């Protein structure tokens, strides 16, 4: 070959490689950007026809039982085809070779091959064919089929078709993941709706029952004024119903808005605790720097506060003194609860926040407190040796910017 011919051949080859690269990049972009798998597969199929010169073909997926091709779309290339589209397309012949060997399979004299006996009557004439398998997780799950290229299919065509089939396979895998995600979202949405309905029914029924109990207790109180023991029992029942009312209120609506600071929350809860436990002496000591501090978990903090205070009352007595101290340490908001009781038994202390039925070890209450605080990225612990009296608990919560600071940003 003359030097000029070699240069022309090299230039033609360079332009061809550049053209193929552009088309492959175009196909990759379509697959990655499209949320419609069939649309993306059709676009890649058209590029496969353009690159190979084939005029007809299809894209099909393997059926769930692995015995048939399920055609996504078919392009006869304008040639007559009288096959009923509802007929099954069994995995056999040259298709079976592509599926089994997980590589492109082609034949350039198809109408004279042994494979032609598998063609149904009325099928479009196919002078030559090529099948490129869609491989995901080392399994062929579909095919790109091409036919009737004016010249013979060759290994260069096989390379291009395999590259394009791999892109369609990526789209297929992505589509399956998206479908699983949508199904999971549907299940989650249904579960949430059921839980919301259940919670609504529970709130309604419990609120009505508590209202009835509260009314009956008031009537009993009027008749129990001359019986101190009965009056104490009535007072205890009233406190319990009030606490349950507050807990239901937590799950009915958000008690605190996004603009409520930790300082406001704690003061509100301290006032509420003093109202619920009038004999309990609660002192709140706050750091001035907390005036504009926010924390996560506002709606469930009343549950945690109430459990800690109630535990002190149960173990020390109704006239227990509780100090609540708040400050910032190492970027966390810290809340310490210290009572003036005898403290926590050394044998019980290691198990305080474990799930248990025994009230002596904190029961389910402190376990739930731990789970709530941890769900907001915080920590609750029993303090030993930090204060010189009683039982002490420390809550750490991540510091968040107040609403004012967020707006300024």
Q: Where are the domains of the chain?
A: 19-182, 256-408
For residues 99 and 95, give the distance between their C-alpha atoms in angstroms, rounded to a whole number: 6
Which has more confidence, 383 or 80? 383
pLDDT of 2 strictly over 80: no
Could you write out the DSSP letters of every residue in 148-212?
--SS---HHHHHHHHHHHHHHHHHHHHHHHHHHHHHHHHHHHHHHHHHHHHHHHHHHHHHHHHHH
What is the rounded (10 degree) CA torsion for 81, 85, 88, 92? 30
Contact 162, 130 (CB under 8 A): no
Burial of residue 208 (number of CB atoms within 10 Å: 0-12, 13-18, 19+)? exposed
Query: pTM value?
Result: 0.55
At 236-255, the pLDDT tens digits run 787 777 777 766 766 555 54
CATH topology of domain 256-408: Heat Shock Protein 90 (3.30.565)
* Mean of per-residue pLDDT scores for the chain: 83
pLDDT of 153 strictly over 90: yes
Percent of the chain's residues with pLDDT above 70: 86
For residues 324 and 268, give the distance between their C-alpha atoms in angstroms, rounded to a whole number: 13
CA 189, distance to chain mean position in Å, is 11
For residues 392 and 160, give the distance between their C-alpha atoms in angstroms, rounded to a whole number: 71
Q: What is the mean pLDDT of residues 193-222?
A: 77
218 pLDDT tier (thresholds 50, 70, 90): confident
Tokens of 17: 């490689």
Which has more confidence, 167 or 256? 167
pLDDT of 284 strictly over 50: yes
Contact 133, 69 (CB under 8 A): no
The three-state secondary structure class of 268 is: helix
Buried/exposed code over 7-46 (b: 16+ C-beta within 10 A; e: otherwise): eeeeeeeeeeeeebeebbeebbebbeebeebeebbbbbbe
Which has more confidence, 358 or 213? 213
Is the domain 19-182 a CATH 3.30.365.10 member? no
Percent of the chain's residues with pLDDT above 90: 32
At 53-111, the pLDDT tens digits run 999 999 999 998 888 888 898 888 877 766 666 667 888 889 999 999 999 999 999 88
For residues 409 and 402, give the distance between their C-alpha atoms in angstroms, rounded to a whole number: 11
pLDDT of 361 strictly over 50: no
């Amino acid at each position: 070959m003359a030097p000029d011919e070699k240069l022309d051949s090299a230039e033609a080859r360079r332009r061809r490689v550049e053209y193929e690269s552009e088309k492959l990049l175009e196909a990759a972009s379509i697959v990655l950007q499209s949320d419609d798998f069939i649309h993306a597969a059709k676009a890649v199929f058209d590029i496969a026809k353009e690159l190979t010169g084939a005029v007809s073909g299809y894209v099909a997926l393997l059926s769930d039982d692995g015995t048939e091709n399920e055609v996504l779309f078919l392009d006869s290339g304008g040639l007559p085809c009288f096959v009923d589209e509802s007929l099954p397309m069994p995995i056999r012949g040259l298709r079976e070779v592509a599926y089994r060997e997980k590589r492109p399979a082609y034949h350039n004299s198809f109408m004279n091959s042994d494979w032609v006996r598998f063609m149904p009557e009325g099928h479009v004439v196919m002078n030559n064919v090529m099948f490129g398998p869609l491989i995901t997780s080392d399994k062929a799950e579909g095919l790109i089929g091409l036919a009737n290229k004016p010249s013979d299919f060759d290994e260069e065509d096989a390379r291009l078709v395999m590259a394009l089939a791999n892109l369609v396979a990526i789209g297929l895998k992505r589509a399956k993941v998206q479908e699983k995600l949508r199904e999971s979202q549907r299940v989650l949405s249904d579960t949430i709706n059921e839980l919301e309905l259940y919670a609504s029914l529970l709130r309604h029924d419990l609120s009505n029952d508590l209202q009835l109990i509260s009314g009956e207790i008031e009537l009993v109180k009027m008749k129990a004024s001359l019986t101190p023991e009965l009056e104490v029992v009535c007072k205890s029942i009233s406190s319990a119903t009030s606490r349950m009312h507050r807990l239901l209120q937590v799950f009915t609506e958000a008690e605190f808005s996004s603009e409520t600071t930790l300082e406001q929350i704690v003061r509100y809860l301290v006032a509420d605790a003093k109202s619920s436990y009038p004999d309990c002496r609660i002192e709140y000591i706050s750091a001035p720097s907390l005036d504009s501090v926010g924390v996560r978990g506002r709606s469930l903090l009343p549950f945690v506060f109430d459990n800690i205070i109630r535990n002190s009352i149960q173990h020390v007595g109704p006239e227990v003194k509780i100090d609540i101290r708040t400050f910032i340490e190492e970027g966390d908001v810290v809340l310490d609860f210290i009572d003036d009781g005898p403290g926590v038994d050394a044998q019980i202390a290691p198990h305080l926040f474990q799930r248990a039925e025994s009230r002596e070890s904190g029961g389910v209450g402190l376990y739930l407190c731990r789970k709530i605080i941890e769900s907001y990225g915080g920590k609750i612990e029993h303090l030993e040796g930090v204060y010189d009296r009683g039982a002490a608990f420390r809550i750490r919560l991540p510091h968040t910017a107040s609403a004012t600071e967020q707006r300024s940003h």
